[in-house]
Amino acid sequence: MADDSPVASLSDVIVRYPGRAPLGPLTLSIQPGEIVALVGASGAGKSTALRLLAGLEAPSEGVATTAPAGRTAFVFQSPTLMPWADARANVALPLELAGAPKDQALDRAAVALAAVGLGERLSARPLQLSGGMAMRVSIARALVTEPDLLLLDEPFAALDSITRRHLIEDLHRLWAARERPPAVVFVTHDVEEAVYLAGRTIVLDAVSGQVAMARPAPGDLPRPANWRAAPDYRDAVEALAAALAHAMPDRVA
């Protein structure tokens, strides 16, 4: 794969579910190493777009191109950990499923957990962890395979605002620290989160399920530490909030 070819893409994709207007046509292309936020009203098709990019769902029409098998990782809103296994075994699982020897998988899991700040909690079971910690385990489990494409469906929605802010900053730091950062696509309802993390934001229209707007965020990634204090940041948050309001279903009222 050439360096500049997309990691995954949707081309004129339409998805038909019974009893509702079709979603799309949706066209979007994810470049290697970029961070893309997907925003839009409830029901606009954000989760559907992620599932299409992951190859978990096939389009009714159009073409979805996914990353090679095993090169995509998915993080859901709830951490989906095995409750009977400790943090380290949870993170080692995708490596073992891919055929890595157990001791090697456990070693790499320990490194991945240390990277998300859980180096001291390798033996903790999910029920012994806070919601934020459990989500960190889930992120470590996604990153341990060194995916080309990391898909996150409202990963921070269930967390309190302070935990959420720490996780967002840590996720960004982890991404930036990689020699070859994965492309990241994440669904959020939080405009500030989108502007903070993403180099590009895609707004899905609630009525048509089409792209209403794709806008680059100002400033280069990785963000400077004081990015939230920059005037560019506030301007971008306001512009995105306005675009999102415009893509809501009741905009004609």
Ligand X SMILES: Nc1ncnc2c1ncn2[C@@H]1O[C@H](COP(=O)(O)OP(=O)(O)OP(=O)(O)O)[C@@H](O)[C@H]1O
Comparing CB distances to ligand X, the nearer of 76 and 227 is: 76
Q: Which of 2, 42, 69, 103 binds ligand X (CB under 6 A)?
A: 42
What is the Cα–Cα distance from 115 to 209, expressed in whole angstroms? Answer: 37
Comparing CB distances to ligand X, the nearer of 143 and 185 is: 185
Q: Which of 24, 32, 40, 59 binds ligand X (CB under 6 A)?
A: 40
In angstroms, the Cα distances linking 9 to 66, 208, 224, 244 are: 7, 19, 29, 23
**Which span sits near ligand X by CB under 6 A: 27-35, 38-46, 99-107, 173-181?**
38-46
CB of 31 to ligand X, least distance (A): 22
Residue 201 engages ligand X in binding (rule: CB under 6 A): no
What angle (nearest 5°) sits at the alpha carbon of residue 137, between those of residues 50 and 145? 60
String marking each residue 46-75 x if it binds ligand X according to CB under 6 A: xxx---------------------------
CB of 140 to ligand X, least distance (A): 24
Q: Which of 1, 12, 20, 130 binds ligand X (CB under 6 A)?
A: 20
The length of the chain, given as a count of residues: 253
Query: Which two structure tokens, joined as six digits, stand for 101?
Result: 């020897």
What is the Cα–Cα distance from 246 to 229, expressed in whole angstroms? Answer: 26
Residue 44 engages ligand X in binding (rule: CB under 6 A): yes
Residues paired with residue 14 on neighbouring β-strands, in sequence order: 61
CB of 42 to ligand X, least distance (A): 3
Comparing CB distances to ligand X, the nearer of 47 and 169 is: 47
CB of 80 to ligand X, least distance (A): 16
First to last CA, the chain: 47
Comparing CB distances to ligand X, the nearer of 46 and 121 is: 46
Residue 29 engages ligand X in binding (rule: CB under 6 A): no
Residue 45 engages ligand X in binding (rule: CB under 6 A): yes
Comparing CB distances to ligand X, the nearer of 40 and 181 is: 40
226 phi and psi, to 5 degrees?
Answer: -100, 25
What is the Cα–Cα distance from 25 to 12, expressed in whole angstroms? Answer: 5
What is the Cα–Cα distance from 137 to 90, expressed in whole angstroms? Answer: 8
CB of 125 to ligand X, least distance (A): 29
What angle (nearest 5°) sits at the alpha carbon of residue 241, between those of residues 30 and 53? 20
Could you identify the residue written with the tokens 């999102």?
Answer: 244
Could you identify the residue written with the tokens 């893409």?
Answer: 9
List interacting residues with ligand X (CB under 6 A): 17, 20, 23, 40, 42-48
